[in-house]
Amino acid sequence: RAPLELDGRINGALNDGLQFLRDSPLREKFGPLLPELSGKGDFALDLAMAVPLNRNSAASLSGEFSFLGSSLSAASNNLAFTDIDGAIKFDQDRLWSETIHAKLFGRRIEVDLKDGVFAESTELSAQGIFAVNDLLRGFQPTELEWIKGEAPWRFELEIPHKGSPHHGSLSARLYSDLKGISIDLPEPFRKSVDEPRRVQITSDLAPRREPPLTLRYGTLLSAYLLLGKGDTDDLLIEGASIQLGGRMAKRPESADMNIRGELEVLDLSEFSLADDGTTLLPPLKRVDIGIGKLQLMGFEIDAARINVDRGDNAWIGVYNSDQGDGSIRIPFDTDHDRIQLR
């Protein structure tokens, strides 16, 4: 016998549409994402259902959930997507879309849904052109004066379905080649506006807690960052571990910052180790780095290693090099005090 076929269309407020998704079997495809979302504006839902009239066949469901210039925001952060136009297509097995257009921070983005990398998951991807300080909204402080320009960025979010071994967390990746952005830092971290250098930020998101972030900047450094929230609900970096060179940074052991690793060349006179209150990072506690050629006080020191800890007004520790070993004192204020080697 032919199945009973039902077709229909629902129009209404987007929040009502989100509640429909939460109450429907589709909630299993969105994982923990749906409870976080709230909406403004309108939606349209087109449904097609086939109900078998015998016991040996399964029902089928397909449809489109359309955004009609509407907005979405997430309860756990300050992200708000506006002017959303496009449709999420679905059946009983999967979600997908053609390109959905929207705005984030007032800039145009394109969003796509497709089958995820993992079995039983959906991948949401978005791409657009942003300045770094756009992406830092919600952090304290928000402006980094040494980064200028804008570049294409791509965001990917892996959404495990219910029943997947990864269900309950969201795997997020953000990356760019930074072409169009200049970084005015001492060598070797300086970057011209036309020079490509890949940066990638990853995190495993979970509801009701601030996830750690890992960051990789070319082959020069990686970082592991622990996040928290300040008094105004802005995000803070509470702990940081920075690894120079090709190895990945490890999780920090305390609510401060340490720097370890290897560099080929470093001019220490170009760096300031003072806390001026404008950095995103927590106070630096320890530095343990090896440097192929260290430039210091007008001298070049070969195969140097510096291991210093934070004191009251200076960094105090030891150094080793081809030219000799000894103690080192690096004042926080190098404009009014001298670096001392003994």
- Is 131 a residue whose pLDDT tops 60? yes
DSSP string, 195-208: ----EEEEEEE-TT
- Strand, coil or helix: what is 268? helix
Query: Residues 200, 173: contact at Cβ < 8 Å?
Result: yes
Work out the average pLDDT over 127-146: 80
Q: Which pLDDT score, from 0 to 100, does residue 243 have?
A: 97
Q: What is the pLDDT of residue 281?
A: 75
pLDDT at site 298 = 75
CA dist list (Å): 104 to 80, 83, 101, 134, 175: 6, 9, 10, 9, 16
61 pLDDT above the threshold of 90: no
Distances in Å between the alpha carbon of 25 and those of 48, 59, 184, 294, 306? 15, 13, 51, 61, 59
As a whole number, the mean pLDDT across the chain is: 85
Condensed to tens digits (0 to 9), the pLDDT of residues 116-129 reads: 766 678 888 999 99
Per-residue pLDDT, averaged over 3-7, amounts to: 82
Q: What is the pLDDT of residue 54?
A: 77
279 confidence band (pLDDT: 50, 70, 90): low
Ranges 35-39, 217-221, 324-328: which has the least confidence: 35-39
pLDDT at 56 over 70: yes
Does pLDDT of 275 surpass 60?
Answer: no
Phi, psi of 311 (to 5 degrees): -110, -165
Indicate the range of 56-70, 133-147, 150-164, 221-235 predicted with least confidence. Answer: 133-147
- Read off the pLDDT of residues 283-305 as tens digits, 9 standing for 90 and up: 889 999 999 998 876 778 899 99
Taken as a whole, the chain contains a residue count of: 342
> pLDDT value at position 134?
85
Report the range of poorest mean pLDDT among 66-70, 105-109, 166-170, 334-338: 166-170
pLDDT value at residue 46: 94
Structure-token pair, residue 214: 């890992």
Confidence band of 12 (pLDDT split at 50, 70, 90): very high
Distances (CA, A) of 203 to 35, 170, 194, 223, 260: 19, 8, 28, 12, 22
- Residue 333 or residue 48, greater confidence: 48
Task: Give tens-digit pLDDT for 180-202.
Answer: 999 998 888 999 999 999 999 99
Query: How many CB atoms are located within 10 Å of the residue 104 CB?
Result: 20
Banded model confidence at residue 36, pLDDT cuts 50, 70, 90? confident
Nearest to 176 by CA among 151, 147, 194: 151
For residue range 223-274, what is the model confidence (pLDDT) as tens digits? 999 988 766 667 788 899 999 998 999 999 888 899 999 999 888 777 765 5
Distances in Å between the Cα of 73 and the Cα atoms of 39, 146, 170, 305 are: 6, 30, 17, 48
How many C-beta neighbours within 10 Å does residue 330 have?
22
Amino acid at 73: S
Q: Are 147 and 217 in contact (CB under 8 A)?
A: no
Answer whether residue 207 shows pLDDT above 60: no
Q: What is the pTM of this model?
A: 0.83
Give φ, ψ of 17 to 5 degrees: -65, -40
**CA 275 – CA 292 distance, rounded (Å):** 27
Angle (CA) 208-171-137 rounded to 5° is 65
